[in-house]
Structure 1
Amino acid sequence: MAKLYYRFGQMNASKSIQLLTVAHNYEEQGKRVTLFTPAIDKRYGHGRIASRVGIAKDAMVVDDDTNLFDIVASQRPDCVLVDEVQFLRAYHVQQLARVVDELNIAVIMYGLLKDYRNQFFEGSQAAILWADQIEEIKTICADPNCNRKATMILKLKDGTPVYDGEQIEVGGNDLYRSVCRRHYFHPNLEDLTAD
């Protein structure tokens, strides 16, 4: 029986490479996968899922009026993989739940859980509420002198921590660091901003 999976982790936790590995494994067995990525994330090109290790794959772009259920129903893949689910709308996650329940197709969603303000994203909150199975992909604090698990995202603007403002500003290591709670509140800025 198919399930709706939510695999979350901090930035640099290997979410995208895991998604791409799952896609490869399905395709290696002659099975079809449908990949989705939100329209807002254009860091690696429009409609492109990429890992920081250099592996990438094309995906269907999801914007506000995309109906994921209808797309999957017309394609009938063996598995659906979603990158950066935190940027999707709650109704997109509900459509993915329908894919599992009505089409019996497994869906695996990958993404962040919380933003730099320690608040849920709309898509991640919906994923928590609707998923059959929730799995954490762990990584360690970006502070080079710390071995704690990263549980927070620290936003840095011009080397200064930012704790409030607009929820979504797409960026990578140039803007965000995955840190433990201690370094979220008391970052070693010299260590975190060194190149």
Structure 2
Amino acid sequence: MHAITNSGWVEVITGCMFSGKTEELLRRLRRAEIAGQEVAAFTPAIDDRYGEASLGSHAGHTWKATVVENDAGGVRDIPNRLNGEEVVAIDEANFFPTDLVDVCERLAADDRRVVVSGTDQTFRGEPFEPLPQLVATAEYVEKLQAICTQCGEPATRNQRLIEGEPAHADDPTIMVGAEESYEARCRNCHVVRQD
């Protein structure tokens, strides 16, 4: 993948929900560990689906991680939490502010391999920062697809559902007690209500 140059770089794994981003991140971390490289993994405090201090995939695989507040201060503190690790993994980058871009650049300039994963689009199909900026500045980018739950085509969009119906474009929050869920959908089956 990367010629041995004794320099750092940034890898971005992106795509819609359920496309296997975290599973691919975990695969790369397992390979780094097999190669004898020290790994540090970080996850945002807002994402506690797989336990407070771990990365987790829908396939059930996990990795111990340091929880970081998903604000500018938490992101800027990531380099201070390292103890010489050569590989730095950051999951769910879409939950972090754009300060993450500068932090990743600093880590790569410090000769570290930085592996970042996160979804690149909001449920509206719009760019989900900071992923577009990370994609633009990374040395390696892999965009994964899921399978559309409606038609079986490759899915690249996140379909937000409220009580089983497509969410309204202007409603970033849900009513208390309303059931929120997500599906992977292709461009043609993705719906964002405008009414």
Check whether TM > 0.5. yes
Change (3 A) 1:71 1:130: farther
| Local SS of the residue matching 1:40 | coil
Q: Take 2:31 and 2:173, find their aligned partners in 1: how far apart are those partners?
A: 34
Q: Is the 8 A contact 1:79 1:106 kept in 2?
A: yes
Answering whether residue 78 of structure 2 is matched by residue 68 of structure 1, we say yes
Q: Is the 8 A contact 2:166 2:191 kept in 1?
A: no
| Percent identity for Structure 1 against Structure 2 | 27
- In the alignment, what sits opposite 2:4? none
Q: Show the 5 A alignment for 1:144-159.
A: 146-159=151-164
Q: Take 1:41 and 1:126, find their aligned partners in 2: how far apart are those partners?
A: 21
Query: Alpha-carbon deviations, 1:156-191, whole Å to 9, x = none?
Result: 1111110322279xxxxx6000101111139xxxxx
Answering whether residue 86 of structure 2 is matched by residue 81 of structure 1, we say no
Answering whether residue 140 of structure 2 is matched by residue 130 of structure 1, we say no
| Local SS of the residue matching 2:30 | helix
Q: Show the 5 A alignment for 1:1-195.
A: 1-63=7-69, 64=71, 65-66=73-74, 67-72=77-82, 75-101=83-109, 103-143=110-150, 146-164=151-169, 165-166=171-172, 175-185=181-191
Change (3 A) 1:167 1:77: farther
Paired residue type of 1:89: P
> With structure 2 as the length reference, what TM-score do the two structures score?
0.83
Query: Alpha-carbon deviations, 1:3-38, whole Å to 9, x = none?
Result: 111110111111111111211111122221010111
- Specify every segment of 5 or more residues in structure 2 that has no aligned partner in the other structure, as ranges: 1-6, 175-179
Q: Take 1:60 and 1:130, find their aligned partners in 2: how far apart are those partners?
A: 24
- Specify every segment of 5 or more residues in structure 1 that has no aligned partner in the other structure, as ranges: 169-173, 187-195
Paired residue type of 2:125: N
Paired residue type of 2:100: H
- In the alignment, what sits opposite 2:3? none
Tell me the matched-pair count: 176
Query: Alpha-carbon deviations, 1:99-122, whole Å to 9, x = none?
Result: 101x11010101100110122223
| Local SS of the residue matching 2:135 | helix
Paired residue type of 1:38: P
| Greater percentage in helix | 1
Q: Take 1:167 and 1:152, find their aligned partners in 2: how far apart are those partners?
A: 19
Change (3 A) 1:98 1:110: same
**Aligned-CA RMSD value:** 1.9
> With structure 1 as the length reference, what TM-score do the two structures score?
0.83
